Amino acid sequence: MSDRAKTIPELNALTAPVGGDLLIIEDVSANTTKKITVTDLSQNFPFNSNAQYVFSNTVIFEQLTESYLPIFQGDSTANATLGFDIQTGALGNFQANVNNYAFFYIVNVNTASQASADLTIYNDSWLGAQDKWIDLGISSSNYANASWTVAGPNEGYLYTANSSMAIGANNGSLYLFAGGTLAANRKATIAANGITITSNLTINAVFAGPPTTKASNAAGNPGEICWDASYIYVCTAANTWKRATLNTY
């Protein structure tokens, strides 16, 4: 064995750590090299309740266990964790403390006709047909795909494949807006008490309703409309219907 000191890239990889093994830490500010042992990692450091070793409000590393091996970076106010967290079941945790929007950055710099940037989430179908997912994305500036024409170049989309999608607001309202980002740009509001449309509504299809004969005192709510071959019926008050005759012309 050579007496020459080895550089860090020349050191053997640690594959089966034991209590006396050393971990080398480079203290850049002091231009010195320090060491800790595997025993120090597992026993002697003051880990907090989240299995993290904290020094001066900075998480230095996570406790090394078989089922909890995330990569952690941050401090007491903003943190990021990558890797399965057995304590919470989270695959990743991203926190920020900034008086601006915090965002997750995905960029596809390819400008070709099939390029897009997507966040795609699969369920257990990933283990089989891989045919069920939800996708949030935006197409490239030159996007052109004959099998996807619901959106064009530079347009965003949210859709699910081979399944249904639920979009809503629990204990709140759902707003559809266009033409701007102000309250005046809301075109439709879906709330617990109904749907309010505040813009022109154009229907380019046949408006279908229940062709049902109604007695004048049939159950109904104001605004309901139905018809049969002879009359159109309008509910004008609770359980109160009026009708108009349909004439041939």
For 37-50, letters b (16+ CB in 10 Å) and e give bbeebeeebebeeb
pTM recorded for the entire structure: 0.58
Instruction: Tell me phi and psi for residue 124, to 5 degrees.
Output: -65, -10
- Between residues 195 and 14, the one the model is more confident about: 195
Q: Is pLDDT above 50 for 133?
A: yes
Task: Kindly give, in sequence order, each residue whose CB lies less than 8 Å from that of residue 243, ignoring residues fewer than 6 positions away.
Answer: 214, 216, 231, 232, 233, 234
- Between residues 124 and 25, the one the model is more confident about: 124
Q: Is pLDDT above 70 for 116?
A: yes
- Reference 55, options 76, 78, 83, 24; nearest CA is 76
Write the pLDDT tens digit of every residue in 8-25.
Answer: 666 666 666 665 666 666
Write the pLDDT tens digit of every residue in 24-55.
Answer: 665 556 656 555 555 555 555 555 555 555 54
Instruction: Note the maximum CA span of the chain.
Output: 109
Q: Between the ranges 99-103, 136-140, 196-200, 224-228, where is the mean pLDDT highest?
A: 136-140
Q: Whole-angstrom Cα distance, residue 59 to residue 74?
A: 6
